[in-house]
Structure 1
Amino acid sequence: MDTRLQLLTDWVRQIPGFNSASPEPVSGDASFRRYFRVWREMPGQPRTPFIVMDAPPAHEDCRPFVAIAEHWHGHGVHVPAIEAQDLQQGLLLLEDFGDRLMLAELDGDSADTLYRQALDELVRIGQMPPPANYPLPAYDDALLDREMALFPDWLLEQHLELKLDNQDRALLETAFGLLKESALAQPEVTVHRDYHSRNLLIRAGQAAPGVIDFQDAVTGPVTYDAVSLLKDCYVRWPEADIANWLEYYRQVSLDAGLHRADADTFRQWFELMGMQRHLKAAGIFARLAIRDGKAGYLADIPRTVSYIRDASARQPAFRYFHEWLCEVVIPAIEERIGPLPAAEARQP
């Protein structure tokens, strides 16, 4: 018996208009959270959908989600309104943004408009002051180290079963140090931390996307969320498109006062931030498969590592890391998981 489902059903039925609600599964995500759609039925009003978020307190803390959601919503960022909450039981009733993930809406005709709208929303997020009742964690030295360590710990050693010697570890340590140095040198903004096409929802009649999965927000590098969006682990675009969208974001974020970088500096920040992000993501995908039984994420590892391959090829300081990646890691990925997308030359 699904005791959490029974718990949330009993809870939501106590809320006016939901007394006969039958929660319908919508989706889960890479965490322990689950989502269900329920309908509010009030006399003389149209039947209205809402989302119940089930976040078991033993695994998930709802307080950051609630603090950030209420703060951002109040300042014009398009996150779901919270209609009801029970933090002790880990249950939230949320505004329903529908099912139209940006990922499924993207094609050659729609991409430019959708990405520019998402980048505009990203500037609004970057400008957000931290909630008064929840100081955002810093994207600091320790967090960057923990994230990059996921790559050797989970992907290389556990999933690919590579044996890393002292030379391999020294090479990784050098690369990680350079990436961390670049990240910490960037101007700091409010960072969503997982801003990509599966966490943005397209809504009829609304230019701005609906933003979800923001509970891990931090204060950190100005290019981090742009990397998540434009070098998305779930879809890859030609370099020329990425360059155009990045320059658009540089300009609008410059106009908003988030940084004062020229195009070359901003692109270099973006490239190195992308390597850090994708090292983390590739490790997380392996961990989701091994620890949580979510093997579907393995299929995203070749695309994710292809970004690291292509970015490191363009960085003289990462020459030895790039050679090692291509000679040791990528053959193991292609043997155990699948082929990487072909490399594409960077546009000037």
Structure 2
Amino acid sequence: MTIQQDERLDALSVWLSETLKLEVDAIEPASGDASFRRYFRTYFDGNSYIVMDAPPPKENVRPFVRVAALLRNAGVQAPEVIAVDEARGFLLLTDFGTRSYLDCLNAGSVDRLYEDALDALMRLQQGVDIEVSGLPPYDERLLGIELDLFREWFLDRLLGLTPDAGEAGLLDDLKRVLIDSALEQPRVCVHRDYHSRNLMVIECHNPGVLDFQDAVVGPVTYDLVSLLRDCYVSWPPSMVDVWMIDHYSSLCENGLLDSVGPDKFRRWFDLMGMQRHLKAIGIFSRLKLRDGKPGYLKDIPRTMCYVIYVCKRYPEFTGFLRYLEYRVLPRMALGEAL
């Protein structure tokens, strides 16, 4: 594959060869990102490695380095950071290969792969000491900013739906309920994007965990619902419920839940998923409109189905469900924006 030359790629190549004194055999694109980061795979000494290009001031590599160390110390398979140039935004990392969970999940593999992912999630939740981690809080302000993405980027900008006074009040009430539910949960280290595109199938201590630089201290159900109600792949609710309750039992056994019954935990899980999925719909819309990345629009219908499913389980969301069914879904069905 031919790489279009650019100044940052040239500088990255010089960093590898002249600063790190590596005899690089080849360098090729590894993957893109929903941010300004790029990843390349490079080969030297008979092995492959990953190089991250995170251009300042749009990206900052320090959170990645810090969180990678936290996860590895907790027994989670994050990449090893081999070399860092913070000023220029370059990282040299170990390579977990090319087999993502999304590529490998099927009816025959899902139980085994999710068992590994849930074990790794427990190590993350139990093994990172949030009091000394230095991670920022997933607080009311951040939760609210994320929920506002749905209204601004999806409803207003993508669909052209400006809520009237009654609809705006409905959205405000929903926001309050979802934030309150998140804030009442026990706090743990939250990866914040723990799903099939960021988990790699590896031979030893599966999975390899990627894209953790935005980790925070927040609700105990967040990463669980990210994994089990993944925006990129879905499973029958009966299977999700079994995995969810299994992890709930593990949390109880490891002292991370205190006198929380399964029904309360399930409500936390459902409402946390709604918060995440509304945010994701907003982000997918922004990626198309602001960043010129339309590929994520195809994931909006699946993500919206999760929202509707939760609305139907809780009578308090009847008004929001009606708004989606009568105002939002018809506009989506037109297909003009999606």
Q: Over residues 100-159 of structure 1, what are the superposed CA-to-partner deviations in whole Å (9 max), with x where a residue is unaligned?
A: 000111111110111111011001111211495x61111111011100000010000000
1:35 is aligned to 2:43: no
1:17 positional shift: 6.5
* Alignment correspondent of 2:218: 220
1:22 positional shift: 2.9
1:14 positional shift: 2.8
Counterpart among 207, 217, 238 of residue 209 in structure 1: 207
Distance 2:233 2:337 in 1: 16
Counterpart among 248, 253, 261 of residue 255 in structure 1: 253
SS at match of 1:23: strand
* Alignment correspondent of 2:185: 186
Distance 1:313 1:202 in 2: 35
Alignment of 1:270-281 (within 5 A): 270-281=269-280
SS at match of 1:323: helix
Identify if the C-alpha distance between structure 1 residues 131 and 83 changes in structure 2 by more than 3 Å, giving closer, same or farther. farther
* CA RMSD, 1 decimal: 1.5
* Alignment correspondent of 1:343: none
* Alignment correspondent of 2:129: 129
1:264 positional shift: 1.0
Q: Over residues 18-45 of structure 1, what are the superposed CA-to-partner deviations in whole Å (9 max), with x where a residue is unaligned?
A: 223432101111010000011122xxxx
* Alignment correspondent of 2:26: 22
* Alignment correspondent of 1:282: 281
SS at match of 2:214: coil
Q: Is the 8 A contact 2:51 2:93 kept in 1?
A: yes
TM-score (normalizing by structure 2): 0.95
**Any stretches of 5+ residues in structure 1 without a counterpart?**
42-46, 340-348
SS at match of 2:29: strand
TM-score (normalizing by structure 1): 0.92
SS at match of 1:324: helix
Q: Is the 8 A contact 1:12 1:21 kept in 2?
A: no
* Alignment correspondent of 1:175: 174
Identify if the C-alpha distance between structure 1 residues 211 and 29 changes in structure 2 by more than 3 Å, giving closer, same or farther. same
1:208 positional shift: 2.5
SS at match of 2:18: coil
1:306 is aligned to 2:310: no
Distance 1:306 1:75 in 2: 34
SS at match of 1:163: coil
**Any stretches of 5+ residues in structure 2 without a counterpart?**
none
Distance 1:123 1:96 in 2: 23
Identify if the C-alpha distance between structure 1 residues 282 and 20 changes in structure 2 by more than 3 Å, giving closer, same or farther. same
1:118 is aligned to 2:129: no
1:277 positional shift: 0.4
Q: Over residues 1-21 of structure 1, what are the superposed CA-to-partner deviations in whole Å (9 max), with x where a residue is unaligned?
A: 511110101101136562234
Alignment of 1:89-108 (within 5 A): 89-108=88-107
* Alignment correspondent of 2:155: 156
SS at match of 2:42: strand
Distance 2:142 2:162 in 1: 25
1:279 positional shift: 0.5
Work out the number of aligned pairs and report it. 332
Q: Percent identity?
A: 47
Q: Over residues 211-268 of structure 1, what are the superposed CA-to-partner deviations in whole Å (9 max), with x where a residue is unaligned?
A: 0000000000000001100000000100011001101111112212211322111111
SS at match of 1:190: strand
Identify if the C-alpha distance between structure 1 residues 137 and 217 changes in structure 2 by more than 3 Å, giving closer, same or farther. same
Distance 2:62 2:24 in 1: 28
Distance 1:62 1:20 in 2: 23
Distance 1:130 1:34 in 2: 29
Distance 1:77 1:138 in 2: 21
* Alignment correspondent of 1:144: 143
1:74 positional shift: 2.7
Q: Is the 8 A contact 1:18 1:39 kept in 2?
A: no
* Alignment correspondent of 2:74: 75
Q: Over residues 187-231 of structure 1, what are the superposed CA-to-partner deviations in whole Å (9 max), with x where a residue is unaligned?
A: 111000000000000012x24200000000000000000110000
Counterpart among 5, 19, 41 of residue 9 in structure 2: 5
Distance 1:288 1:8 in 2: 26
Structure 1's consecutive aligned runs of 4 or more residues displaced over 4 angstroms after TM superposition are: none
Q: Is the 8 A contact 1:120 1:252 kept in 2?
A: no
Distance 1:285 1:218 in 2: 21
Q: Is the 8 A contact 2:83 2:93 kept in 1?
A: yes
